[in-house]
Chain A
């Protein structure tokens, strides 16, 4: 199984990197961009196991305790069979 974890800054937390990326993209001529937020993406390969529920639970804990800082970031976990 594979777990995908998306970590993003909470709404309201300033993202200066996102702003700089937006500016650069706009310089290239792209228009109509309201906002860019930069985040992190993790792929975690799990040892063979069929228990999706348990995998979801344990990866969510990883995301909460290590991969994200709950003060400034949110996370989302996806498990692929």
Chain B
């Protein structure tokens, strides 16, 4: 099982993700420079958080044109696992690998704080080690995390059980007050129709050790590793 972490100019959570995979998950992991296009040796690819291309034009808009993204599209089409965190989620939406878009937070602020998200489905390679409706405490750090999509897309996401995480209160209630950024239906993360591509705004890689205030994010990487172990 080998993990790859894509590095764009401006990525800044790449080393955190590397640390979690190598130290917490204990699996081989390599950085992939955005100009590389060879992904065949990897089983899962992580698109980390940060400010790829300085967020010029729109967050994630320019990273979509990096050479590696064509390979990521083929990688995803082959059924292998792609996890986009924060800026990675924005890039996946811009690249058309996930539906919808992430716009400026409702209250305009850059928000950097721990929030609660509810696991809406355990039927994904990223959440199958967790119980549905369990609540995770994970930090967010973004200015453009306000998820928008049209009515038809929302219906499709709901019908196909593709809403993976929703912002909630500590007890797991999905309320307007628990929605930090104005995201439609409190959506914090969604997966692709084939379920092998996940994008989420919260940063699970920043919540994998008790020393950091929460280790709830570890369950996502644990699920990922368990999925890959079962396939191998």
Contacts and interface: CB of A to CB of B under 8 A. Distances in A.
Interface of A: 9, 13-17, 20, 66-67, 69, 71-72
Interface residues of B, number: 20
A42 B101 CA distance: 21
Contact of A66 (B57, B104, B146, B148): B57
A7 B136 CA distance: 38
Nearest to B103: A72
Contacts of B99: 71
A16 B108 contact: yes
A56 B150 CA distance: 29
B227 interface: no
A3 B105 CA distance: 31
Interface of B: 57-58, 61, 65, 93-94, 99-101, 103-108, 146, 148-150, 182
Contacts of B65: 66
B105 A16 contact: yes
B108 A69 contact: no
A71 B148 contact: yes
B104 A17 contact: yes
Contact of B94 (A13, A14, A16, A69): A69
Residue among A13, A67, A71 having the largest count of chain B Cβ atoms under 10 Å: A71
A71 B100 contact: yes
A15 B105 CA distance: 9
A75 to B, nearest CB: 13
